[in-house]
């Protein structure tokens, strides 16, 4: 059996190695158009920033190491230009010599990945404008940074690559501006959770131009101007274009293979395309979204590696399937971490799901142990079934642990209320006896059992103030540092003695710093005959959303936020 693989890196390289482990006699040929067959593309921004010092550290396997260990024929700098399905051959160009050749196959695996989106805009071909996909791209950007030492840089796009590049350029000493068409950074997060990310980047001196679409680029002297549709142009010494990726599916399309979501290659659970002898894996394919059941394109390294293994299994006669992707992701943002799994509220609404959510702000470990830091968690679940739909966490230490626990629970089919029963490791430096994941389960159980009702930030503007009581149950010191408008202040520990100050005929909407004391207040009030609602996320969450910098002026001095309430 001869297997030809188009593209290396995550999906193609893992498929090649797996086939060899299963079939010692198979002939395996891998074509990779870049100069590296297996490299850590998720590490490229950190190589540019200097955290990864040597380019060689990015290389996981070389053609020579593949040959030595697996007897796999790897040909880098070779681009597959066409597939002849009737003859079962691919046309290949040697990018070093220009020579054309054909290669026959019994089975073909397509792992072309995704290409950076580069819209047809004026000035897109500027030598000061860069995209990042390969080791060669990273080396070119790093050389430019080290030789030119840019004082200013503009990053177009607020996704993973854009934010990682912004951080690493800032660490190199550049004053960075992020331009993003959406009104928020990091689309896997909802706007309320993204508000913490906005504040972090502003604190680190990165300016934000959110809700702005780029209309073109213009070289002016030693700078490149980024023109936008709704604000003045931004001048920079360089531009990183990171507005997203598109599936590199043109080979499949030209060969007549079926395409699916967002132009990605359609495959079945065995990673087979519409041609039984052609498989496809990685960023170029569609797969089932585990939370919604709908077909989607989820371009992440973890799914690509697993899909490569599944394709290899089936080629070698093992009935292996790839069930779904849940889109679990984590990203370092200076000393902050943001993570998500499953879907957010926007996606839940688009899928027509009836859901509820809890927001909590637990510490990463026991509060009495030194060095604890707060994280903000949001967990979404489906009403009725209590199926976990997704989670988002922004914080510092311990974020990655909790998102992985939630991803595992979700994929295992646990109900949201089952989170309270998870037996998770505890020691004061690492967690609390009631882990944040357990706390989310307790909160969901309280909601579903009717022990508490809640309200959210978006509800505040709709409340008829004259017909309700707004109650702040924090301490006097906390209130002095900032308080929500129109709230009566009664500390929770004094509430039982001051119940007469509350009108029993009016619903009471309660807030505290994190949501815990206001929950206690609601339990007190409910048992004294009051109709009570707990604010989801507490004042800390309220303040972050209220101060959100959707309309941050890029001319604001670096590190300063806009005035409270500006939206």
**Which residues are the active-site residues?**
42
Q: Which residue, 93, 406, 382, 110, is CA-closest to 252?
A: 110
Q: Which residue, 385, 388, 377, 376, is CA-closest to 348?
A: 388
Q: Which residue, 114, 125, 136, is CA-closest to 48?
A: 136
Task: Looking at 41-190, list the stretches that DSSP marks H as alpha helix, in order from N- to C-terminal side.
Answer: 44-49, 63-70, 135-148, 160-171
Measured between alpha carbons, how far is 302 from 14 in angstroms, rounded to an integer? 11
Measured between alpha carbons, how far is 320 from 286 in angstroms, rounded to an integer? 17
Measured between alpha carbons, how far is 58 from 132 in angstroms, rounded to an integer? 14
Instruction: Using DSSP bridges, classify how beta strands 508-511 and 532-535 pair: parallel, antiparallel or unpaired.
Output: parallel
Measured between alpha carbons, how far is 177 from 1 in angstroms, rounded to an integer? 53
Q: Which residue, 254, 309, 319, 252, is CA-closest to 286?
A: 252
- Judge residue 222's burial from the number of C-beta atoms within 10 Å of its C-beta, 0-12 exposed, 13-18 middle, 19 or more buried: exposed
Measured between alpha carbons, how far is 23 from 372 in angstroms, rounded to an integer? 51
Measure the CA dihedral 504/505/507/509, to 10°: -40
Measured between alpha carbons, how far is 325 from 219 in angstroms, rounded to an integer? 42
- Residue 61 Rama label (left phi>0; alpha psi -120 to 50; beta): beta
């Amino acid at each position: 059996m001869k297997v030809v693989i188009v593209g290396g890196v995550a999906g193609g390289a893992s498929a090649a190695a797996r086939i060899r482990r299963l079939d010692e006699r198979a002939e395996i040929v891998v074509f990779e158009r870049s100069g590296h067959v297996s490299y850590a593309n998720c590490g490229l921004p950190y190589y540019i920033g200097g955290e990864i010092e040597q380019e060689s550290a990015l290389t996981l396997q070389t053609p020579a190491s593949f040959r030595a260990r697996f007897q796999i024929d790897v040909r880098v700098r070779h681009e597959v230009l066409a597939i002849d399905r009737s003859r079962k051959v691919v046309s290949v160009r040697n990018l070093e010599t220009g020579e054309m050749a054909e290669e026959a196959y019994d089975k073909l695996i397509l792992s072309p990945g995704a290409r950076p989106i580069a819209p047809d805009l004026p000035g897109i071909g500027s030598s000061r404008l860069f995209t990042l996909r390969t080791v060669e791209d990273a080396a070119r950007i790093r050389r430019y940074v080290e030789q030119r030492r840019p004082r200013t840089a503009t990053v177009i796009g607020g996704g993973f690559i854009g934010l990682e590049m912004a951080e690493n350029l800032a660490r190199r000493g550049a004053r960075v501006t992020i331009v993003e068409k959406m009104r928020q950074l990091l689309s896997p997060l909802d706007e309320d959770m993204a508000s913490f990310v906005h504040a972090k980047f502003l604190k680190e001196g990165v300016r934000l131009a959110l809700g702005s679409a780029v209309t073109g680029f213009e070289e002016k002297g030693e700078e490149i101007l980024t023109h936008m549709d709704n604000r003045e142009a931004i001048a920079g010494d360089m531009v990183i274009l990171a507005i997203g990726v598109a599936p590199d599916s043109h080979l499949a399309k030209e060969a007549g293979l079926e395409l699916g979501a967002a132009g990605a290659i359609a495959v079945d659970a065995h990673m087979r395309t519409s041609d039984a002898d052609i498989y496809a894996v990685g960023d170029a394919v569609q797969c089932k979204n585990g939370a919604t059941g709908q077909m989607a394109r989820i371009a992440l390294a973890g799914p690509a590696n697993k899909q490569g293994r599944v394709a290899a299994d089936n080629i070698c006669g093992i009935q292996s399937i790839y069930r779904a992707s849940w889109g679990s992701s984590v990203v370092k943002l200076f000393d902050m971490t943001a993570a998500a799994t499953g879907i957010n509220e926007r996606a839940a609404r688009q899928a027509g799901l009836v859901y509820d959510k809890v927001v909590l702000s637990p510490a990463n470990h026991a509060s009495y142990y030194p060095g604890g830091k707060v994280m903000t968690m949001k967990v979404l679940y489906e009403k009725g079934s209590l199926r976990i739909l997704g989670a988002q966490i922004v914080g510092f230490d311990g974020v990655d642990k909790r998102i992985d626990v939630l991803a595992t629970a979700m994929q295992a089919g646990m109900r949201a209320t089952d989170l309270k029963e998870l037996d998770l490791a505890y020691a004061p430096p690492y967690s609390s006896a009631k882990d944040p994941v357990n706390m989310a389960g307790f909160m969901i159980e309280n909601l579903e059992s009717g022990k508490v009702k809640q309200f959210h930030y978006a509800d505040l503007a709709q409340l008829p103030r004259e017909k309700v009581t707004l109650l702040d149950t924090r301490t006097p010191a906390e209130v002095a540092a900032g308080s929500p408008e129109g709230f009566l202040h009664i500390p929770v520990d004094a509430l039982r003695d001051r119940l007469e100050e509350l009108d029993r005929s009016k619903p009471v909407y309660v807030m505290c710093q994190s949501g815990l004391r206001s929950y206690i207040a609601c339990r007190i009030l409910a048992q004294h005959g009051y109709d009570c609602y707990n604010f989801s996320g507490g004042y800390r969450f309220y303040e972050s959303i209220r101060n959100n910098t959707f309309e941050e002026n890029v001319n604001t001095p670096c590190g300063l936020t806009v005035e409270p309430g500006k939206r």
